[in-house]
Amino acid sequence: MFLEYNRTINANTYLTVGVRASFPGAGIDSMIDAKAPIWTGGFANVVVNY
């Protein structure tokens, strides 16, 4: 699952933030011989064009 938010702050500046969660399947579980945890993460990015 991936959620992303984009915002134009002004004509030259943009903000992007996001979060994600990855649910490992049977293939990953079989490689580690256990139930793999849910992988989560996030990011924030500011772009300034001039």
The per-residue pLDDT for 41 is 98
Parts of the chain with a pLDDT under 70: none
The per-residue pLDDT for 12 is 97
Burial track 8-43 (b if 16+ CB lie within 10 A, e otherwise): eeeeeeeeeeeeeeeeeeeeeeeeeeeebeeeeeee
Q: What percent of the chain has pLDDT over 70?
A: 100
The per-residue pLDDT for 17 is 98
Counting every residue written for the chain, the total comes to 50
